């Protein structure tokens, strides 16, 4: 498997794909009747091919993408008619357990002009099982539409997580990704936004926490095709124990994407001498009239900060925890839903207890 | 909204495109066989271990695949590249003895003046062998050795045996193996313990025969507490046949020693420049790279610093200028292999008229190398949208006690900056010229005067435009 050598994933053996029987979809109360939401995938009929050329999508790797395309066991198709705005989020909660250890969710979202919606995906597991998640999400956002996606991955340390996400964005459309990566033994995720028309916009905010023996390969790509398109990647991470992380951030300005702006940032706090942190921030440009920037920084918690907090009576552990939470906060604050925020904060706290 | 784009004139390369009638006594057949390697070695009266080394390298070369990443090498016909050509000149020690037409070319490139004025020694490589060599007497008295590598192989065989291609082994990549098999010419510098060479040493070489490859080897050893500034520059005339340059530079910087290695590579537009440069730095030693990449059709050049001693330091300052038909894939690699090592990378690139500038960097911190600091900054200036500019820095951190910062920026000359300067009464052309000069200044100011002048000539950019 090309591209996976950095986290040592050469021959990944796929487990048996079982059905996922549990209810995972939560529809908000104010859900408009005009919106087409199917609890199955591929339900948008022939229009699919018009929006997504699935064979051309490689995501985290052809093998993984084909698997979910052929054998998906869950997922949604969401069609938002023109100008329809859904205020409360649609939630997909996958709680994997012994009887439902595999989730292969295939999801489609098509947002017509001026529509707006938020979809939350939450992947969790029972403590003892070896779960497997391999998902795919395709978003097509038309003119002036806004699609917000929040993905929280907090599977246990024995499980595997793979996830492929694509957005295709028309003029003035906007797709916002929030990715929270807290769990699993091995995790490969890919987010790609195509900013295809004038003033297309995409934001990606992510946090990751690597503890134990976790291996993560996180790949974020923004392809600027339309003029005046705007992208922003902001990633905050913490690595401890023997965790290993590969961050790949790509800003790709194609010819014709004039006056576009792309910013990419990664800050990682390293807590143990045994961590491994690889960063590959690429900046590709075929257009001169653009502004592209990337910045990456890595280091320990500053001793001065730690000293200051400890001089105020905090224990070293609490001081460290506070600094880490402060680093994650700007991303977590972007999540408008209090219950989800407290789930995330609880999970982070649990994992930092030994830090 | 269509804006008027900045117009940048091509660099005048006339003086570099002068060719001499070529005249040689010895030329190997096209292509490479063990017999040719033996012939080359015999012609150079080399010891047996070197002949064996060449043959072993050839074997490695034949077994290694071509690199598949980076640049397109499909037009490069290795069999067509003649391994070894010696000019019709023997080793000379006085300028007067150098053959006239060779002297003529050098004079037009401005070498003798530079030598007369301030430089300690000139090792000018003409085709494959160094034709002219001179070093100031004071340095000789202090024990500094600056000679061509063929002479060094005779006079300092033990040192060569110990260091030659130990840092860049032939197994490194295909072109290192090729170099090991057919290397010819180059410089050898040895600075003994505690000696401070206060004037820069300079070597200037160029390619001349059609189809000739150039495989010069530079070996520099700076002993404990010594200091040296070495300058290497190259320029070649234009020919129709694809030319290959697969040189090798090995720099050994010992404890507390310091070496500054400056080069301007200015090859003709048909050259494949696949050069390998590497420095090994001991405790508290310093390596400084100043690197300018111009010319050539294709370049793959990533000077590498291995900081193996505690407190070792590296600094890289580089500029790449890619124009029509050029793909310059350059960058630097830094390996922090010991605690408390520091590195700074400052890379700038300009691309115009369809040129493709690629920054490819590696920053690696080993598991036990705690307390390391590194700062990497890459800036790319694109002068039009026919060109391409990519940045791909790889950062691999294998412990936590480090402080790493990386930044990269891409863009055109900002309208605000021009507007500001114009509001101060400066014309638009002058404002643009000032900004471009300012962009490359961190590089030019690191170079000695003659080189800075040459660089400025190379970046002889004229700007014209109207308010956008």
The predicted structure's pLDDT at residue B121: 38
The residue behind tokens 């320990």 is A300
Q: Hey, is the C-beta of B364 within 8 angstroms of any chain A C-beta?
A: no
Predicted confidence (pLDDT) at residue B237 exceeds the cutoff of 80: no
The residue behind tokens 């005009």 is A34
Nearest by CB: B397 against A277, A280, A285:
A277
Predicted confidence (pLDDT) at residue B429 exceeds the cutoff of 80: no
- Check A274 against B370: CB less than 8 A apart: no
- Check A270 against B390: CB less than 8 A apart: no
Handedness of CA B381, A247, A103, A15 (dihedral sign): positive
The predicted structure's pLDDT at residue B99: 52
Q: What is the CA radius of gyration of chain A?
A: 20
- Check B3 against A276: CB less than 8 A apart: no
Instruction: Quote the tokens at residue B346.
Output: 């400052």
For residue B295, which of B311, B316, B273, B275 has the smallest C-alpha distance?
B273
Give strand pairing partners of A194: A168, A223
Instruction: Quote the tokens at residue B268.
Output: 């003709």
Q: Hey, is the C-beta of B373 within 8 angstroms of any chain A C-beta?
A: no
Distance from CA of B68 to the nearest CA of A (A): 14
* Average pLDDT, integer, range A136-143: 95
Distance from CA of A291 to the nearest CA of B (A): 5
What is d(CA B329, CA B347) in angstroms, rounded to the nearest whole number? 12
Containing B57, the helix (H) or strand (E) segment is helix B48-63
Predicted confidence (pLDDT) at residue B115 exceeds the cutoff of 50: no
Predicted confidence (pLDDT) at residue A251 exceeds the cutoff of 80: yes
| 293-332 of A, contacting B, C-beta below 8 A | 293-300
What confidence tier does B135 reach under pLDDT thresholds 50, 70, 90?
Answer: low
Count the neighbouring beta carbons within 10 Å of the beta carbon of residue A241. Answer: 16
Query: A7 contacts in B (CB within 8 Å)?
Result: none
Beta strands B187-191; B145-148: pairing state: antiparallel
Burial of B452 (0-12, 13-18, 19+ CB in 10 A): middle
What is d(CA A233, CA A123) in angstroms, rounded to the nearest whole number? 23
Distance from CA of B407 to the nearest CA of A (A): 4
Rounded to 5°, the CA angle B215-B216-B220 comes to 145
**How large is the ipTM?**
0.84
What confidence tier does B198 reach under pLDDT thresholds 50, 70, 90?
Answer: confident
The residue behind tokens 């199917």 is A38
Helix axes B48-63, B34-43, angle to 10 degrees: 150
For residue B324, which of B273, B383, B279, B282 has the smallest C-alpha distance?
B383
CA of B212: how far to CAs of A339, B18, B37, B87, B182, in Å? 72, 16, 15, 11, 12
**Contact, A316 vs A284, CB < 8 A?**
no
Q: Hey, is the C-beta of A5 within 8 angstroms of any chain B C-beta?
A: no
CA of B143: how far to CAs of B157, B164, B219, B260, B431, in Å? 16, 20, 16, 19, 50
Residue B446 phi/psi, 5° resolution? -85, -10
Q: Hey, is the C-beta of B398 within 8 angstroms of any chain A C-beta?
A: yes
Span of A88-92, A244-248, B297-301 with lowest mean pLDDT: B297-301
Handedness of CA B443, B446, B448, B449 (dihedral sign): positive
Q: Which of A29-43, B120-134, B328-342 has the highest mean pLDDT?
A: B328-342
Rounded to 5°, the CA angle A232-A235-A241 comes to 170
Query: B3 contacts in A (CB within 8 Å)?
Result: 289
Span of A115-119, A228-232, B186-190, B427-431 with lowest mean pLDDT: B427-431
Predicted confidence (pLDDT) at residue A246 exceeds the cutoff of 60: yes
What is d(CA A121, CA A149) in angstroms, rounded to the nearest whole number? 8
CA of A320: how far to CAs of A310, B240, B403, in Å? 10, 64, 17
The predicted structure's pLDDT at residue B352: 82
Residues 6 or more apart whose CB falls under 8 angstroms from that of B364 comprise B333, B334, B335, B336, B396, B398
Burial of B426 (0-12, 13-18, 19+ CB in 10 A): middle
Predicted confidence (pLDDT) at residue B117 exceeds the cutoff of 50: no
Domain layout of chain B by residue ranges: 17-414, 415-468
* Average pLDDT, integer, range A154-160: 94
**Contact, B347 vs B331, CB < 8 A?**
yes
- Check B399 against A270: CB less than 8 A apart: yes
> Alpha helices, DSSP H only, in chain A?
47-51, 62-71, 303-311, 316-332, 338-352
DSSP state of B104: H
The predicted structure's pLDDT at residue B11: 56
- Check A285 against B399: CB less than 8 A apart: no
Burial profile A157-191: b = 16 or more Cβ within 10 angstroms, e = fewer = eebbbbbbbbbbbbbbbbbbbbbbbbbbbbbbbbb
Residues 6 or more apart whose CB falls under 8 angstroms from that of A272 comprise A239, A240, A241, A242, B400
What is d(CA A95, CA B428) in angstroms, rounded to the nearest whole number? 64
Q: What is the pLDDT of residues B290-328, one digit of tens each?
A: 988 877 889 999 999 999 999 999 999 998 888 888 899
For residue B336, which of B358, B359, B360, B304 has the smallest C-alpha distance?
B304
């Amino acid at each position: 498997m090309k591209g996976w050598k950095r986290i040592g994933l050469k021959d990944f053996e796929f487990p048996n794909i079982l059905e996922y029987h549990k209810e995972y979809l939560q529809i908000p109360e104010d859900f408009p009747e005009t919106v087409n939401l199917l609890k199955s995938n591929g339900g948008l009929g022939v229009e699919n091919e018009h929006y997504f050329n699935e064979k051309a999508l490689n995501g985290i790797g052809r093998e993984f993408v084909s698997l979910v395309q052929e054998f998906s066991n869950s997922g949604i198709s969401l069609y938002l008619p023109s100008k329809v705005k859904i205020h409360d989020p649609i939630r997909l909660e996958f709680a994997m357990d012994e009887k439902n250890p595999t989730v292969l969710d295939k999801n489609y979202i098509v947002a017509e002009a001026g529509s707006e919606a938020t979809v939350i995906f939450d992947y969790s597991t029972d403590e003892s099982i070896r779960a497997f998640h391999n998902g795919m999400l395709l978003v097509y956002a038309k003119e002036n539409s806004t699609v917000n996606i929040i993905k929280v991955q907090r599977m246990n340390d024995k499980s595997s997580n793979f996830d492929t996400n694509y957005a295709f964005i028309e003029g003035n459309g906007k797709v916002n990704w929030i990715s929270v990566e807290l769990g699993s033994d091995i995790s490969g995720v890919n987010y790609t936004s195509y900013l295809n028309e004038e003033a297309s916009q995409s934001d990606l905010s992510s946090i990751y926490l690597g503890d134990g023996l976790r291996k993560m390969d996180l790949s974020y790509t923004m392809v600027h095709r339309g003029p005046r398109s705007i992208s922003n990647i902001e990633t905050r991470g913490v690595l401890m124990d023997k965790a290993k992380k590969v961050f790949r951030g790509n800003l790709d300005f194609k010819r014709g994407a004039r006056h576009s702006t792309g910013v990419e940032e990664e800050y990682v706090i390293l807590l143990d001498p045994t961590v491994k942190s690889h960063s590959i921030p690429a900046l590709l440009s075929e257009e001169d009239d653009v502004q592209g920037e990337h910045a990456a920084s890595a280091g320990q918690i500053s001793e001065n900060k730690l000293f200051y907090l400890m001089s105020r009576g905090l224990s070293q552990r609490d001081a460290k925890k506070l600094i880490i939470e402060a680093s994650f906060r700007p991303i977590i604050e972007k999540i408008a839903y209090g219950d989800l925020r407290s789930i995330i904060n609880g999970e982070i706290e649990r994992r930092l207890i030994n830090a | 909204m269509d804006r008027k784009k900045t117009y940048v004139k091509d660099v005048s390369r006339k003086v570099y495109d002068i060719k001499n009638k070529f005249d040689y006594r010895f030329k190997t057949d096209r292509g490479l066989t063990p017999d040719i390697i033996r012939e080359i070695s015999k012609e150079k009266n080399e010891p047996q271990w070197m002949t064996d080394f060449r043959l072993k390298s050839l074997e490695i070369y034949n077994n290694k695949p071509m690199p598949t990443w980076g640049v397109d090498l499909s037009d490069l016909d290795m069999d067509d590249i003649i391994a070894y050509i010696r000019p019709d000149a023997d080793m000379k020690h006085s300028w007067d003895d150098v053959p006239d037409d060779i002297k003529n070319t050098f004079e037009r490139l401005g070498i003798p003046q530079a030598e007369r004025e301030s430089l300690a020694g000139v090792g000018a490589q003409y085709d494959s062998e160094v034709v002219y060599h001179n070093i100031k007497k004071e340095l000789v008295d202090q024990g500094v050795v600056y000679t061509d590598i063929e002479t060094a192989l005779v006079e300092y065989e033990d040192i060569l045996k110990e260091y030659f291609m130990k840092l860049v082994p032939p197994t490194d990549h295909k072109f290192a193996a090729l170099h090991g098999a057919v290397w010819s010419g180059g410089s050898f510098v040895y600075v003994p313990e505690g000696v401070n060479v206060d004037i820069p040493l300079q070597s200037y070489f160029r390619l001349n025969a059609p189809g000739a490859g150039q495989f010069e080897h530079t070996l520099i050893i700076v002993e404990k507490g010594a200091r040296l500034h070495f300058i290497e520059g190259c320029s070649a005339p234009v020919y129709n046949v694809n030319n290959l340059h697969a040189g090798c530079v090995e720099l050994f910087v010992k404890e507390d020693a310091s070496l500054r290695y400056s080069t301007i590579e200015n090859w003709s537009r048909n050259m494949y420049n696949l050069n390998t440069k590497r420095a090994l730095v001991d405790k508290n030693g310093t390596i400084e790279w100043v690197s300018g990449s111009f010319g050539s059709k294709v370049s793959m050049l990533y000077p590498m610093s291995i900081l193996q001693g505690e407190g070792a330091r590296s600094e890289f300052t580089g500029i790449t200028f890619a124009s029509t038909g050029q793909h310059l894939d350059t960058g630097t690699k830094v390996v922090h292999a010991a605690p408390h090592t520091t590195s700074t990378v400052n890379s700038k690139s300009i691309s115009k008229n369809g040129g493709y500038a690629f920054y490819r960097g590696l920053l690696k911190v080993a598991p036990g190398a705690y307390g390391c600091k590194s700062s990497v900054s890459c800036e790319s200036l694109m002068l039009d949208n026919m060109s391409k500019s990519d940045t791909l820095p790889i950062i691999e951190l294998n412990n936590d006690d480090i402080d790493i910062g990386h930044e990269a920026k891409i863009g055109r000359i900002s309208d605000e900056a021009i507007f500001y300067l114009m509001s101060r009464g400066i014309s638009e052309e002058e404002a643009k010229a000032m900004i471009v000069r300012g962009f490359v200044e961190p590089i030019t100011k690191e170079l000695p005067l003659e080189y800075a002048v040459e660089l400025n000539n190379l970046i002889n950019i004229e700007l014209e435009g109207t308010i956008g």
